[in-house]
Amino acid sequence: MEYGIGRVSGIDMDSLVELFNDAYSDYYVDVQVNPARLRGLIEREDIQVDNSFVAYEGQLPVGVVFLGVRGKRGYICGMGVRTSRQRRGVGELLMRRALSESRRLGLSSVQLEVVAANRRAIALYSKLGFVPVRDLGLWERNTPPPAQASGSVPADHGTRTRRDDVTAPLQTEVRVGAVRMAGVLPLVDAFNEIRPCWQNEAQSLVKMSDRLVGYVSHVDSAATAYVVFGDSAGGLYVADFAAAPRLVSAQRQSMCEILLSAVDRDVPRMSAKAFNIPLQGYQEAVLRARGFDLTLAQQEMVLCLKWR
Ligand SMILES: CC(C)(COP(=O)(O)OP(=O)(O)OC[C@H]1O[C@@H](n2cnc3c(N)ncnc32)[C@H](O)[C@@H]1OP(=O)(O)O)[C@@H](O)C(=O)NCCC(=O)NCCS
């Protein structure tokens, strides 16, 4: 079968939504979209509709790949083939087209996240040279927030508490305060040794800043940790958190627990979610301590197109 390829900018929104929803109809999590949600995704994740592709069987759109671009980095934001047309080479055709476009644009890397159980997608990405770089988790809590992190969090923002009662304590006072997003975003880059996944990095968070709140902890005048979160009818959404890399792991955990405790105190929601937070580090320990369970593991994969 010969397939035609067109650009996402050349397809109407209703057909694109129908194609996307068909391709993701039996997916691991509900990612069904409507036009407004898909437009939001395109805008938030810097999807380039002129550099993203649709495969056609005659007039019928049968597959789509979305390429996001930030500087020299590319991101496969979504890739799917109509269920009735899978296993016929369409996915590979589209991915190869997206990668040749990435090279043409001079990108140095392309990254993506894939559900760890999605063996067919992982097989496709591995075949094309992507390698796993780390594990991320989707986290959920559907129980009342646990008690405050030991050592208690200040009752009011800006007040002080002693933190001399926790493991690996800093033996000093921690202040927690709400901060404008513009004040938090530099910390997202400074506090993460590997930048957060595409949806949680500063370039994404800035686009949601009207819906997100930032809390930052300080010891003396130095920022020690941040959390960015949102509150909606669906519950609490923890978009991202991290602590200063100059602290040891136990201190980073302790600082983030203080912040997430402060969030739970101020926005006490039974239902809470956190997306694509790294596994096997202090961030996982923080979420578990705050009552979250892992609901889905993801793999972050990267393909280097240029070596320095
Ligand atoms: C993953 C997906 C895009 C693959 O597209 P596809 O058109 O079915 O895949 P192709 O026919 O082009 O296969 C290309 C390669 O993918 C892998 N692959 C695809 N389907 C597979 C399957 N059922 N089992 C094992 N490997 C599979 C193989 O490596 C295959 O290469 P091979 O033919 O040399 O073995 C498609 O299954 C899909 O849309 N799934 C639902 C949405 C989704 O999971 N998207 C990915 C999100 S990260």
How confident is the prediction for the chain on average, in pLDDT? 91
Domain endpoint, select from 107, 125, 148: 107
Question: 161 versus 195: which is more confidently predicted?
Answer: 195
With the C-alpha atoms ordered 208, 209, 211, 214, is the resulting torsion angle positive or negative? positive
Asked if the structure places residue 134 within a domain, the reply is no
Q: How far apart are the C-alpha atoms of 97 and 73, rounded to whole Å? A: 16
- Pocket perturbation via mutation, ligand 1, pick of 31, 54, 124, 127 by most ligand atoms within 8 A of CB: 124
What residue's CA is closest to ligand 1, atom 21?
Answer: 120
**Residue 100: how many CB atoms within 10 A of its CB?**
10
Q: pLDDT-based confidence at 232, cuts 50/70/90?
A: confident
Q: pLDDT-based confidence at 150, cuts 50/70/90?
A: low
Counting residues of the chain whose pLDDT is more than 90, the rounded percentage is 86
| Overall average pLDDT of the 156-167 stretch | 41
SS3 140: strand
Amino acid of residue 301 = M
SS3 250: helix
User: What is the extent of the structural domain holding 236?
Assistant: 139-300
Domain CATH code at residue 259:
3.40.630.30
Asked if the structure places residue 64 within a domain, the reply is yes
Residues 190, 240 share a domain: yes
With the C-alpha atoms ordered 190, 114, 238, 211, is the resulting torsion angle positive or negative? positive
Quick one: CA torsion of 129, 135, 136, 137, rounded to 10 degrees? 130
Q: pLDDT-based confidence at 172, cuts 50/70/90?
A: low
Pocket lining for ligand 1, CB < 6 angstroms: 23-24, 27, 79-81, 86-92, 114, 118, 120-121, 123-124, 127
Contact 160, 154 (CB under 8 A): yes
Contact 105, 16 (CB under 8 A): no
Is the pLDDT assigned to residue 159 strictly greater than 60?
A: no
Q: Where are the alpha helices (DSSP H) in 107-168?
A: 119-127
Domain count, the chain: 2
Is the pLDDT assigned to residue 152 strictly greater than 90?
A: no
- Pocket perturbation via mutation, ligand 1, pick of 21, 27, 92, 303 by most ligand atoms within 8 A of CB: 92
| Overall average pLDDT of the 83-91 stretch | 98
Asked if the structure places residue 239 within a domain, the reply is yes
Quick one: CA torsion of 192, 197, 202, 205, rounded to 10 degrees? -130
| Overall average pLDDT of the 279-287 stretch | 95
Amino acid of residue 62 = V
Q: How far apart are the C-alpha atoms of 17 and 35, rounded to whole Å? A: 6
Among 82-86, 206-210, 297-301, the range scoring the smallest mean pLDDT is: 206-210
pLDDT per position as a tens digit, 102-148: 999 999 999 999 999 999 999 999 999 999 999 999 999 999 988 87
Residues 97, 166 share a domain: no
Q: pLDDT-based confidence at 270, cuts 50/70/90?
A: confident
Q: Which pLDDT does position 9 carry in this prediction?
A: 98
Residues 188, 58 share a domain: no
Q: Which pLDDT does position 125 carry in this prediction?
A: 98
Asked if the structure places residue 118 within a domain, the reply is no
- Residues whose CB falls within 8 Å of the CB of residue 3, separated by 6 or more in sequence, listed in order: 55, 56, 57, 62, 63, 89, 90, 93
Domain endpoint, select from 84, 107, 130: 107
Residues 285, 144 share a domain: yes
Residues 229, 146 share a domain: yes
Asked if the structure places residue 114 within a domain, the reply is no
Residues 278, 175 share a domain: yes
How many whole angstroms from its chain centre is CA 94?
23
Contact 215, 262 (CB under 8 A): yes
DSSP run (H or E) holding 39: helix 35-44
- For residue 277, which of 232, 251, 243 has the smallest C-alpha distance? 243
Q: pLDDT-based confidence at 308, cuts 50/70/90?
A: low
Name 6's bridge partners. 54
SS3 228: strand
Q: How far is the CA of 129 from the centre of ligand 1 (A)?
A: 15
Q: Which pLDDT does position 307 carry in this prediction?
A: 72
